Structure 1
Amino acid sequence: MITLKGKSVFGGVAIGRLAFYKRAEPKIKRHHIEDVHAEIRRFEEAKGQALHQLQELYDKAMGDVGEANAMIFEVHQMMLQDFDYIESVKNIITAQEVNAEYAVGTTGDNFAQMFASMDDAYMQGRAADVKDISNRLVKILTGRAEGGIKTDEPVIVAADDLVPSETVQLDKEKVLGFATMYGSANSHTAILARTMNIPAVIGLGEDLSKEYDGKYCIVDGFSGTVFIEPNEEILRMMTEKREEDLRRKALLNELKGKENVTLSGRKINVYANIGNLADVGAVLKNDAGGIGLFRSEFLYLENETFPSEEQQFQVYRQVAENMAGRKVIIRTLDIGADKQAPYFHLDKEENPALGYRAIRICLTEPDIFKTQLRALYRASAYGQIAIMFPMIISVEEVRKIKAIIKEVKAELKETGIAYRDDVETGIMIETPAAVMISRELAKEVDFFSIGTNDLTQYTLAIDRQNEKLDSFYDPHHPAVLAMIKMAADNAHAEGKWIGLCGELGADLTLTETFLEMGLDELSVSPAMVLPLRKKIREIR
């Protein structure tokens, strides 16, 4: 038996086989070939196989997510049969006498660069499509496996760390828990584990060796311990610990349908944070009063190009309908920093957390922003949708947003498309600047929602993704709590409500403090809704 120690980011016990996340190797080697015609036949065979794969993906997507979301695979089939694309590959093979994968990779790069340089936003979006079909062909030609985890049974996912674009690709039903070499308590692996209500241990270091791939193991999320090939005694102890945890959760289920009210009669809304449509079931299962944070950027991260208005509308509409009148607060896209989508073509930045991200992208690229806003307002006709905007630092930004919203509403009205005119709009309070001018900001919006992850990061000048700084990162810091209190006071002074949707909302040691500050709503991962309700009902 091998015992590894790390840091716990979510409690619970997972027992199963370890499966290392495999990343596809992107490098393509160029080499000379003797038989040009044979190499072109290799390309044609790979193209046929890729078309077959895309048709299967289209058929599966039609059943899973509907025609609007499946269309991307039909587009990829059309591009793969484009005359200019095919001729370019064949010409490179013939003229340079090189291998097919090199010709495909070069053609993909050239076409992607051509699309990216166009002025039209739609055509720019095709750059990511042509890169994707080229990557698919290269994988077939080289026999390289897709990245991710390949398994028929649920497993414990191991990795150095996972970025958001990788976590969204995982089949959540096949994940029992996480074990990573690196990462911080605020990484997206940690946030995903809390959302999924599964145990996770990070910071295991190089001791988490790939030689353990496929080994039977236990993740103890309570103590931050991982056991590789556990002995009978440890297996018995951990099995009992898991059963006790399940019994505790069963007791919490008895709180379903109960109010979030203190012993002295103070009520507070308890909502849930989610990242995609699939998480709505967990929201309803855990009896949350609504959705306090729908991270819409994950819709962009799951896509290989900019999601269309129709695609977004279908997702937002389904969330609103599934929540059946309960409030759904959707945050506009927060791409940038640690959440990168290749087709945005964002420049590498020295300090991305302070860079071109979130509302700054939306206000600089209004076409992208308006597409999302149109989808949101169209979906508002089907439920109680509210919209909030991230990374706000000025009143002027809010006024620019309101002007764009006015344009979107006018366009929808002119074309006779239904929408609700009373959609609440709010902002994220996650910068010290927003806190300091929160009284003025409150005059412009309907509500605030405090994003404690970024607010802590910017207040303490600590990169929350840097695991070396975990011991310095203190979300209980008096300055952070003072900023939350200031924002709450200023919101109420202008008659507006205020919530908190950062990870700090699930810190039960601060629940009473938040109630004393006057917060009107706490939004947490679905798994923490009932524990938070229990805590609220015990406070006098």
Structure 2
Amino acid sequence: MKILKGTSMADGLSSGKAVFITVQEIVIPQDKIDPARAEAELEEARRAFKESKTQLLSVLESGTAESYEQIEIISTHLDILDDPEIKNFVETAITKEYDNAASAVNEVFLSAINHLRSLKNKMMAERATDFDDVRSLILGHLMQMEEDLFKDVDEDTIPIFEEAFPSHISRLKELGINGYIAKHGGYTSHASILSRALKIACVSNIPDLDKYVKEGTPLLLDGESGTVVVDPDSEQLEFFAQKLQIAELIKEKNERLRERENLTKDGDRVLLNLNISLPEELDAVDELNADGVGLFRTEFLFMGRDTLPDEEEQYQTYKKMAEQIAPKPLTIRTFDLGGDKLSDIFESPHEENPNLGNRGIRFMLSHPQMLKAQLRAILRAAVHGNIRIMFPMVADVEDLWELRHKLKQYADELYYEDIPYNDDVQIGTMVEVPSAAINSDLLAQECDFLSIGTNDLVQYTLAVDRGNDQVHRFYIQHHPAVLKLIKMTADSAIKHGKSISVCGEMASIPEYIPILIGMGITELSLNAAAYYKVKQVALNCDAELKETVQNFDFGVSLSGVEHLIYSQLKPYQET
């Protein structure tokens, strides 16, 4: 018996015998063609592209795609097939270089794949698997390949891939497979995203996997912990069986919890929204029955590119997302970027400490074309759903006034250009700079909602870089100074009748939920993985809790606050 540790890509439990999925390297003929045959060879390539497209469209039209993520990934693959640049390169290789169709397709796609894998941005490097997937699809039609990679796979096996493609994950779902292993893979790859959406457990990047696992080796896979048990003994098998039973009980409990209203015991509603970074994560709103999206981090639009996303691209993205969850709110945080994150797009002066430099709305105001494109796109997309705008790194009311002025200016432009837009969009500010919390009374009068970003608020209040291991022990989210600022902000919002939310990490930690609700926080925006635990704690809260927190003196020491959270409020933390 041996326990191997890897990286969790998708939660879940699975058991079975190892089956190595070996993708045979396609033998591509390298012969040059007779120039007289160029047109016929080009037609062969076009046929393969067309058949590949038809195959993907049939999945969409048949309704067999089981999630929004799967539809999005198929759409990405269709976009690759329709990419005019790819087609032009293939045509040139055939008609000018006289490559045969298979060789032309292979070389063009390998060039794109190698380019993506060379990028510093991890997420874009992971997109190389999408091009590899499409490459295999086209070559399969071009060379009439009928190899079945999954001939030895059944419900009692755990497939092991060198690197999983999205098409592999769709096939695993069809076969009823609950888990798999990938020797290589990233959390944000489309294969991993699809695995989470389809509830297929995955562990990746396991050192020495080949040393301990052979074809047919019995395995227990735990996607949550990122572990694989090799040749489990009776004790491990019993423990795993218990985990399966517990997981089933938790699933049943969560299904019941999903249908309950988000009401505290004294009848107050607490809105539970999700934090997301990718459009593919939007399915979780319906899956969990969440109240909406409290934070959409739009920075993903910049990842791994050498051009800025224009207004139209952003409009289409926001529109599609808003339509999917309407009438629930989609809270779009404007780009929280700094020059250090955009060095591939344009030159920016080096900053010794970017976190205290030109980032967030400071950066956007200093790059007005970026701000204009994003705000115009949001105003246009708001016609199609319930969109809210949230500005990061607001320091005081003057920042908000300037942003409101810009928004009004862009709305007027759209009006005179006769482009449909919605100017009745709720505007909120993130409270993550101590000055914003201290000035929250003024901010609450000038905006529609406040959302506390506790990650940066802790960092700036305690002068602690949360990414620095040497001072990590000083990064205390429940420090009394931080809690005083949260309470101050909540009081300001309540005073002026504005909604108040917490969208930082604290909203995903069950121990902190009672004190936040007790302070008067009416909305929590959290990670999907913590949703049911947080919901259960919120349902436990009552009037007595609120009275206890409201009467608490946050001017006490850290130990005094910890006594409140971990002793007095502990009964409310049951999940």
Shared fold (TM-score, shorter chain, > 0.5): yes
Aligned to 2:84: 77
Q: How far off is 1:387 after superposition?
A: 0.8
The 5 A counterparts of 1:120-519 are 153=172, 172-173=196-197, 176-177=200-201, 218=220, 220=222, 227-301=229-303, 305-336=307-338, 340=341, 343-345=344-346, 351-466=353-468, 472-519=474-521
Q: How far off is 1:509 after superposition?
A: 1.5
Which letter maps to 2:84?
Q
Which letter maps to 1:405?
L
Q: Structure 2 CA distance, aligned partners of 1:302 and 1:273?
A: 22
Change (3 A) 1:4 1:534: same
Which letter maps to 2:345?
F
Q: Structure 2 CA distance, aligned partners of 1:270 and 1:408?
A: 32
Aligned to 1:521: 523
Structure 1, unaligned stretches of length 5 or more? 21-44, 91-100, 110-127, 182-203
Q: Is the 8 A contact 2:276 2:282 kept in 1?
A: yes
Residues 200-240 of structure 1, C-alpha deviations (whole Å, 9 max, x = no match): xxxx9x78999879987556577786534534541342233
Secondary structure of the structure 1 residue equivalent to 2:510: coil
Q: Is the 8 A contact 2:10 2:199 kept in 1?
A: no
Residues 469-528 of structure 1, C-alpha deviations (whole Å, 9 max, x = no match): 665543233333222222212333343221011222122222211111111101223344
Q: Structure 1 CA distance, aligned partners of 2:497 and 2:455?
A: 26
Q: Is the 8 A contact 2:13 2:244 kept in 1?
A: yes
Q: Structure 1 CA distance, aligned partners of 2:18 and 2:47?
A: 33
1:3 aligns with 2:3: yes
* TM-score, L = length of structure 1: 0.66
Which letter maps to 2:368?
P
Residues 336-391 of structure 1, C-alpha deviations (whole Å, 9 max, x = no match): 599x5675346676544444543343222222222222221112112221110122
Q: Structure 1 CA distance, aligned partners of 2:199 and 2:415?
A: 45
Q: Structure 1 CA distance, aligned partners of 2:432 and 2:219?
A: 39
Secondary structure of the structure 2 residue equivalent to 1:378: helix
Which letter maps to 1:518?
G
Q: Structure 1 CA distance, aligned partners of 2:201 and 2:465?
A: 25
Change (3 A) 1:216 1:399: farther
Q: How far off is 1:296 after superposition?
A: 2.2
Q: Structure 1 CA distance, aligned partners of 2:204 and 2:163?
A: 17
Aligned residues: 469
Secondary structure of the structure 1 residue equivalent to 2:511: coil
Change (3 A) 1:328 1:471: same
Which one has more relative contact order, counting CA pairs under 8 Å at least 6 apart? 1
Q: Is the 8 A contact 2:10 2:201 kept in 1?
A: no
Q: How far off is 1:449 after superposition?
A: 1.0
Secondary structure of the structure 2 residue equivalent to 1:425: strand
Q: Is the 8 A contact 2:501 2:523 kept in 1?
A: yes
Secondary structure of the structure 1 residue equivalent to 2:328: coil
Q: Is the 8 A contact 2:8 2:203 kept in 1?
A: no
Which letter maps to 2:246?
E
Q: Is the 8 A contact 2:220 2:228 kept in 1?
A: yes
Which letter maps to 1:3?
I
Q: Is the 8 A contact 2:163 2:183 kept in 1?
A: no
Q: How far off is 1:424 after superposition?
A: 0.4
- The more displaced of 356-365 and 494-503 is 356-365
Q: Structure 2 CA distance, aligned partners of 1:302 and 1:72?
A: 18
Secondary structure of the structure 2 residue equivalent to 1:344: coil
Q: Is the 8 A contact 1:7 1:224 kept in 2?
A: yes
Change (3 A) 1:524 1:287: same
Q: Structure 2 CA distance, aligned partners of 1:407 and 1:474?
A: 41
Q: Structure 2 CA distance, aligned partners of 1:466 and 1:166?
A: 30
Q: Is the 8 A contact 2:273 2:290 kept in 1?
A: yes
Q: Is the 8 A contact 1:164 1:301 kept in 2?
A: no
Which letter maps to 1:398?
L
Q: Is the 8 A contact 2:9 2:203 kept in 1?
A: no
Change (3 A) 1:12 1:319: same
Q: Structure 1 CA distance, aligned partners of 2:304 and 2:19?
A: 22
Residues 297-319 of structure 1, C-alpha deviations (whole Å, 9 max, x = no match): 23443877543433332332232
Secondary structure of the structure 2 residue equivalent to 1:476: coil
Q: Structure 1 CA distance, aligned partners of 2:413 and 2:517?
A: 42
Q: How far off is 1:425 after superposition?
A: 0.7
Q: How far off is 1:66 after superposition?
A: 11
Which letter maps to 1:453?
N
Aligned to 2:570: none
Aligned to 2:25: none
Structure 2, unaligned stretches of length 5 or more? 21-40, 62-70, 97-106, 116-123, 137-160, 173-177, 543-575
Q: Is the 8 A contact 1:337 1:355 kept in 2?
A: no
Q: Is the 8 A contact 2:278 2:300 kept in 1?
A: yes
Q: Structure 2 CA distance, aligned partners of 1:53 and 1:350?
A: 50
Residues 278-298 of structure 1, C-alpha deviations (whole Å, 9 max, x = no match): 333221121112221222223
Change (3 A) 1:471 1:148: farther
Change (3 A) 1:334 1:413: same
Q: Structure 1 CA distance, aligned partners of 2:56 and 2:360?
A: 32
Q: Structure 1 CA distance, aligned partners of 2:342 and 2:53?
A: 21
Q: Is the 8 A contact 1:55 1:74 kept in 2?
A: no
Q: Structure 2 CA distance, aligned partners of 1:374 and 1:328?
A: 16
Which letter maps to 1:491?
A
Change (3 A) 1:510 1:227: same
- The more displaced of 480-489 and 512-521 is 480-489
Q: Is the 8 A contact 1:508 1:532 kept in 2?
A: yes
- The more displaced of 300-309 and 313-322 is 300-309
Q: Structure 2 CA distance, aligned partners of 1:480 and 1:161?
A: 38
Which letter maps to 1:410?
D
Change (3 A) 1:394 1:419: same
Q: Is the 8 A contact 2:507 2:526 kept in 1?
A: yes
Residues 100-125 of structure 1, C-alpha deviations (whole Å, 9 max, x = no match): x9xx99xx99xxxxxxxxxxxxxxxx
